[in-house]
Amino acid sequence: MIERTVWKEIFVNSDGAVTLDWVALTSSVVVIGIGLVYMVYGGETGAISSMITNYNSELDQAAANLSGVVEAATPSVLE
């Protein structure tokens, strides 16, 4: 059986805990970075690519609606 002083030393000594924290932090940053790279450079089906396509189509529709409103509100000839 392990003596009480050995158990006390195991729980008090925290030299490996700092290394474990840095490993966990570094691995989470790497995973988030890989996810961001995949979203940006995911090809034609990437999330960012499809979002940009959707925004462009919405802006084109808004521009078409705005030009129709401006043309209808402009008087043709002042009499």
pLDDT digits (tens, 9 = 90+) for 20-73: 788 899 999 999 999 888 877 776 666 777 788 888 888 888 888 877 666 655
Q: What is the pLDDT of residue 20?
A: 79
Q: What is the pLDDT of residue 54?
A: 85
CA atoms of 75 and 79, how far apart (whole Å): 10
Domains in the chain: boundaries = 16-72
The answer to whether 49 touches 42, Cβ cutoff 8 Å, is yes
Q: What is the pLDDT of residue 2?
A: 64
